[in-house]
Amino acid sequence: MSTAAATKAEVLGLYRGILREVSKQYTPRNSNRMWHNEVVATFKNGAGATDAVDVRNRILQAKNFHAFMTSNRTHRELVERYWPVSGMSEGEKLQRTANTVGFSLPKIFGSGVPAGELGGAIDGVAEEPLAPHVEEALKILQKAPSSSS
Protein backbone atom coordinates (compact mmCIF):
# COMPACT_ATOMS: atom_id res chain seq x y z
CA MET A 1 0.00 0.00 0.00
CA SER A 2 1.43 3.32 -0.95
CA THR A 3 0.79 6.36 1.16
CA ALA A 4 0.43 8.61 -1.88
CA ALA A 5 -3.03 7.45 -2.85
CA ALA A 6 -4.99 5.45 -0.31
CA THR A 7 -8.13 3.81 -1.56
CA LYS A 8 -11.26 3.42 0.47
CA ALA A 9 -10.60 -0.34 0.75
CA GLU A 10 -7.10 0.27 2.16
CA VAL A 11 -8.39 2.70 4.77
CA LEU A 12 -11.24 0.38 5.77
CA GLY A 13 -8.83 -2.56 6.00
CA LEU A 14 -6.55 -0.52 8.23
CA TYR A 15 -9.53 0.56 10.34
CA ARG A 16 -10.71 -3.05 10.77
CA GLY A 17 -7.17 -4.21 11.56
CA ILE A 18 -6.74 -1.63 14.32
CA LEU A 19 -10.15 -2.45 15.78
CA ARG A 20 -9.27 -6.16 15.70
CA GLU A 21 -6.01 -5.55 17.58
CA VAL A 22 -7.70 -3.29 20.14
CA SER A 23 -10.39 -5.93 20.67
CA LYS A 24 -7.78 -8.68 21.17
CA GLN A 25 -5.50 -6.74 23.49
CA TYR A 26 -7.50 -4.25 25.51
CA THR A 27 -11.22 -4.99 25.48
CA PRO A 28 -11.11 -8.58 26.87
CA ARG A 29 -9.05 -7.62 29.94
CA ASN A 30 -11.75 -5.59 31.64
CA SER A 31 -14.61 -5.36 29.11
CA ASN A 32 -13.86 -1.65 28.76
CA ARG A 33 -14.61 -0.39 25.27
CA MET A 34 -12.88 2.96 25.78
CA TRP A 35 -10.05 2.18 23.34
CA HIS A 36 -12.50 0.81 20.77
CA ASN A 37 -14.59 3.97 21.00
CA GLU A 38 -11.46 6.14 20.74
CA VAL A 39 -10.38 4.42 17.52
CA VAL A 40 -13.87 4.81 16.03
CA ALA A 41 -13.98 8.51 16.99
CA THR A 42 -10.50 9.16 15.56
CA PHE A 43 -11.38 7.58 12.23
CA LYS A 44 -14.70 9.46 12.10
CA ASN A 45 -12.91 12.77 12.76
CA GLY A 46 -10.46 12.06 9.96
CA ALA A 47 -13.18 11.14 7.46
CA GLY A 48 -13.82 14.77 6.56
CA ALA A 49 -10.17 15.68 5.95
CA THR A 50 -9.53 17.07 2.46
CA ASP A 51 -5.91 18.20 2.64
CA ALA A 52 -3.80 15.57 0.85
CA VAL A 53 -0.81 15.98 3.17
CA ASP A 54 -3.02 15.67 6.27
CA VAL A 55 -4.71 12.54 4.88
CA ARG A 56 -1.36 10.97 4.03
CA ASN A 57 -0.01 11.72 7.51
CA ARG A 58 -3.11 10.27 9.19
CA ILE A 59 -2.88 7.09 7.12
CA LEU A 60 0.82 6.76 7.87
CA GLN A 61 0.17 7.19 11.60
CA ALA A 62 -2.60 4.60 11.46
CA LYS A 63 -0.31 2.12 9.66
CA ASN A 64 2.43 2.68 12.21
CA PHE A 65 -0.03 2.23 15.07
CA HIS A 66 -1.39 -0.98 13.55
CA ALA A 67 2.13 -2.35 13.02
CA PHE A 68 3.04 -1.47 16.62
CA MET A 69 -0.06 -3.15 18.04
CA THR A 70 0.47 -6.31 15.98
CA SER A 71 4.17 -6.50 16.83
CA ASN A 72 3.51 -5.90 20.52
CA ARG A 73 0.96 -8.73 20.66
CA THR A 74 3.26 -11.09 18.75
CA HIS A 75 6.16 -10.27 21.08
CA ARG A 76 4.04 -10.93 24.16
CA GLU A 77 2.88 -14.29 22.75
CA LEU A 78 6.46 -15.33 21.95
CA VAL A 79 7.68 -14.37 25.43
CA GLU A 80 4.90 -16.42 27.03
CA ARG A 81 5.63 -19.40 24.79
CA TYR A 82 9.43 -19.51 24.92
CA TRP A 83 10.21 -17.98 28.32
CA PRO A 84 7.87 -19.72 30.75
CA VAL A 85 9.28 -18.05 33.86
CA SER A 86 7.94 -14.68 32.71
CA GLY A 87 4.60 -15.31 34.42
CA MET A 88 6.02 -16.74 37.65
CA SER A 89 6.34 -15.00 40.99
CA GLU A 90 9.77 -14.41 42.51
CA GLY A 91 9.32 -17.33 44.91
CA GLU A 92 8.44 -19.71 42.08
CA LYS A 93 11.44 -18.51 40.07
CA LEU A 94 13.72 -19.08 43.08
CA GLN A 95 12.29 -22.58 43.66
CA ARG A 96 12.74 -23.47 39.98
CA THR A 97 16.34 -22.20 39.99
CA ALA A 98 17.14 -24.12 43.17
CA ASN A 99 15.74 -27.30 41.65
CA THR A 100 17.72 -26.75 38.45
CA VAL A 101 21.11 -26.28 40.09
CA GLY A 102 20.62 -28.98 42.73
CA PHE A 103 20.05 -26.91 45.87
CA SER A 104 16.76 -28.62 46.58
CA LEU A 105 17.69 -31.50 48.88
CA PRO A 106 15.50 -34.58 49.31
CA LYS A 107 13.19 -34.80 52.28
CA ILE A 108 14.43 -36.73 55.30
CA PHE A 109 12.01 -39.60 55.52
CA GLY A 110 10.25 -40.19 58.82
CA SER A 111 11.62 -37.26 60.76
CA GLY A 112 8.16 -35.79 61.40
CA VAL A 113 9.51 -32.22 61.36
CA PRO A 114 9.12 -29.67 58.60
CA ALA A 115 11.53 -30.37 55.80
CA GLY A 116 12.86 -26.80 55.79
CA GLU A 117 14.21 -27.18 59.34
CA LEU A 118 16.40 -30.11 58.33
CA GLY A 119 17.73 -28.62 55.11
CA GLY A 120 15.22 -30.45 52.97
CA ALA A 121 12.95 -29.03 50.34
CA ILE A 122 12.34 -25.29 50.41
CA ASP A 123 8.57 -25.55 50.61
CA GLY A 124 8.64 -26.35 54.36
CA VAL A 125 5.74 -28.82 54.32
CA ALA A 126 5.63 -31.17 57.30
CA GLU A 127 5.98 -34.85 56.48
CA GLU A 128 3.43 -37.52 57.30
CA PRO A 129 4.20 -39.58 60.43
CA LEU A 130 5.45 -43.12 59.87
CA ALA A 131 3.14 -46.10 60.04
CA PRO A 132 3.43 -48.03 63.34
CA HIS A 133 5.03 -51.12 61.78
CA VAL A 134 7.65 -48.95 60.05
CA GLU A 135 8.46 -47.22 63.35
CA GLU A 136 8.90 -50.63 65.00
CA ALA A 137 11.27 -51.75 62.27
CA LEU A 138 13.34 -48.56 62.64
CA LYS A 139 13.58 -49.03 66.43
CA ILE A 140 14.76 -52.63 65.97
CA LEU A 141 17.41 -51.48 63.50
CA GLN A 142 18.59 -48.72 65.85
CA LYS A 143 18.91 -51.16 68.79
CA ALA A 144 20.72 -53.79 66.76
CA PRO A 145 24.47 -53.98 67.32
CA SER A 146 26.45 -52.28 64.60
CA SER A 147 28.70 -54.38 62.40
CA SER A 148 31.61 -51.92 62.76
CA SER A 149 32.26 -52.67 66.47
Q: Is residue 2 part of a domain?
A: no
Phi, psi of 147 (to 5 degrees): -80, -10
- 21 and 40: one domain? yes
Q: Tell me: do 14 and 71 sit in the same domain.
A: yes
Higher-pLDDT residue of 78, 2 = 78
20/64 same-domain check: yes
In a domain, 118, yes or no: yes
pLDDT in tens, 46-73: 787 788 888 889 899 999 999 999 999 9
Range of the domain at 106: 90-143
Give the C-alpha separation, 126 to 112, whole Å: 7
- State whether residue 136 is helix, strand or coil: helix
Query: Do residue 76 and residue 102 come from a single domain?
Result: no
Averaged pLDDT score across all residues of the chain: 79
Q: How far is CA 118 from CA 55, 99, 106, 112, 134, in A?
A: 72, 17, 10, 10, 21
